[in-house]
Amino acid sequence: MNRRLYFLIPDHDHALTVVDDLVENGIDIERMHAIGDRGTVLDGLPNASLRQHRDSASHVEKVIWSSNLVCFGLALVATLVLPILLGLSWWLLLPIGIMAACFLAGLHFTSIPNTHLGEFRDALSHGEILLVVDVPETRVAEVEGNIHHRHPEATVGGVGWSTQAFDL
């Protein structure tokens, strides 16, 4: 799984320079997306898809999290009802196993960093540009350090998860 890095950049010219530096450092331009408010000029910058602009990944996270909670709740109800209806039996292990799996999935889910576009709406409304860069997990520190040292005007806005599936 890739990590999604968020950089707030004050203007178009700086954003072009950051994109050029990232390309020079081996980051594919297809893995970069520039997002701005309605009046912000993004000419020459890599375009974000409609799904990325709407932050569909945030919605996917909410659906997965809610589904996990519902699954856990149903398994809990089954754990309480099965002994009453069937007495203690081997079937009781099934909902207990489902609850354990949901719990472990929830632990993993909460350990994944998640930054969302909603956190940048104020900056975007003031004309700043959000550059979203998807990089392998092993290159996060390198890319952040490069941007920090070569472009002090760019603010590191956070890290999230990324997948190329469904253009998220």
d(CA 103, CA 73): 11
If asked whether residues 120 and 157 sit together in one domain, one would say yes
The series of mean pLDDT values per 10 residues for the chain, 168 residues long, is 88 92 92 87 84 68 85 90 82 88 81 69 87 90 91 84 54
**45 is a domain residue:** no
d(CA 25, CA 13): 19
Q: Which domain holds residue 18?
A: 2-33+114-167
| pLDDT value of residue 20 | 93
If asked whether residues 90 and 125 sit together in one domain, one would say no
How many structural domains does the chain have? 2
| pLDDT value of residue 121 | 82
Bridge partners of residue 132, in order along the sequence? 6, 33
If asked whether residues 82 and 120 sit together in one domain, one would say no
| pLDDT value of residue 166 | 45
> Which tokens hold the place of 45?
């910058």
Q: Running DSSP on this structure, what letter comes out for residue 91? A: G
pTM value?
Answer: 0.69
Q: Running DSSP on this structure, what letter comes out for residue 48? A: P
If asked whether residues 107 and 151 sit together in one domain, one would say no
**38 is a domain residue:** no
| pLDDT value of residue 165 | 45
Q: In what order do the strands lie in the sheet with 155-162?
A: 32-35, 129-136, 2-9, 155-162
d(CA 133, CA 3): 8
Residue 15: give its domain's CATH number: 3.30.70
CB atoms within 10 A of CB 55: 19
If asked whether residues 124 and 162 sit together in one domain, one would say yes
Q: Running DSSP on this structure, what letter comes out for residue 120? A: G
If asked whether residues 149 and 107 sit together in one domain, one would say no
Of 71, 91, 111, the residue that ends a domain is: 111
If asked whether residues 130 and 160 sit together in one domain, one would say yes
If asked whether residues 28 and 6 sit together in one domain, one would say yes
Strands 32-35 and 155-162: unpaired
| pLDDT value of residue 8 | 93
| pLDDT value of residue 98 | 92
| pLDDT value of residue 42 | 86
